[in-house]
Structure 1
Amino acid sequence: MDLTVIAYVIYLLVSIGLTVWVARTLGRAGRIFLGDVLHGNEKLADAVNHLLVVGFYLVNLGFVALYLSRSSTIDTARGIFEALSTKLGVVLLVLGVMHLANVFVLNKIRRRGVLDREQVPPLGPQEWIAPSAGA
């Protein structure tokens, strides 16, 4: 078997495995986070979380597929390691950037929810008091 094909197979297995692992981790932690952001609305939190995980899979697996091709052939075992280190390094960087983007967006949503909660007084007005003559 050609060494380039072996490098492709290893790249795909590791990249897809990493993408699945990161997506599952984000899905588990994201669900709890979204439950807080969405004020305990579990159905909405699950739906938003599922959409985020699907989008994460689509972007990352699409990138993995596009980044698969190689212009030159690999002739040595050293070439396999060099090609894999470059390709997997880029995939890991993309996964990290996607993770940070997800956290940034979720944190922005959470901040907005916290600000909305702080603007609503804990109790409604109880009665109206007329201003005094000197005020």
Structure 2
Amino acid sequence: MVETAYALYLGITIGITIWVARTLSKNGEVFLVQCFGHNAQLARSTNHLLVVGFYLVNIGFITLTLSLGKEPVTYADAIRFLSGKVGLAVIVLGGMHFFNMGAIAHFGRKVNGWLTDGHPQVA
């Protein structure tokens, strides 16, 4: 029972992490290009760095939370165990997404403001 619950937890949360990272990377590149003054190379590089950081933080969080809480004994315990741990991981994923979007939007405004205020653009 315990091993199955842990395996399900790891499979579900790592699967969700990979799906979210791929989705954000694929759909976020257009946003990054706009934020970085249409510098596609900088946008792609930043996108890749964000994905790497996203994986590191989330997989680290997922593995750290393995040891938290009471191990399930019954099927009901296993459902509570999985819902609590998976729910917490999903909340952290969402929080990281909003933090990253806010940081990129803030940085993008600075870059776009600098590039459009009469200073020469760097090619």
Give the TM-score normalised by structure 1: 0.81
Amino acid in structure 2 at the alignment position of 1:8: Y
Tell whether 2:83 aligns with 1:85.
yes
C-alpha distance in structure 1 between counterparts of 2:89 and 2:100, whole Å: 16
Q: Which of these residues, 25, 31, 34, is aligned with residue 33 of structure 1?
A: 31
Aligned residues: CA RMSD: 1.6
Larger radius of gyration: 1
C-alpha distance in structure 1 between counterparts of 2:115 and 2:46, whole Å: 20
| Residue number in structure 1 paired with 2:104 | 106
What stretches of structure 1 of length at least 5 have no aligned partner? 122-135
| Residue number in structure 1 paired with 2:11 | 13
Residue 111 of structure 1, CA deviation: 1.3
Structure having the higher helix fraction is 2
Amino acid in structure 2 at the alignment position of 1:18: I
C-alpha distance in structure 1 between counterparts of 2:37 and 2:51, whole Å: 20
Q: Following superposition, which runs of at least 4 residues in structure 1 exceed 3 angstroms of deviation?
A: 70-73
What stretches of structure 2 of length at least 5 have no aligned partner? none
Residue 82 of structure 1, CA deviation: 0.5
Q: How many aligned residue pairs are there?
A: 119
Residue 50 of structure 1, CA deviation: 0.3
| Residue number in structure 1 paired with 2:94 | 96
Q: 1:49 to 1:74 in 2, by over 3 A?
A: same
Instruction: Tell whether the 8 Å contact from 2:25 to 2:48 is kept in structure 1 after alignment.
Output: yes
C-alpha distance in structure 2 between counterparts of 1:16 and 1:58, whole Å: 11
Amino acid in structure 2 at the alignment position of 1:49: N
Identity %: 40
Amino acid in structure 2 at the alignment position of 1:4: V
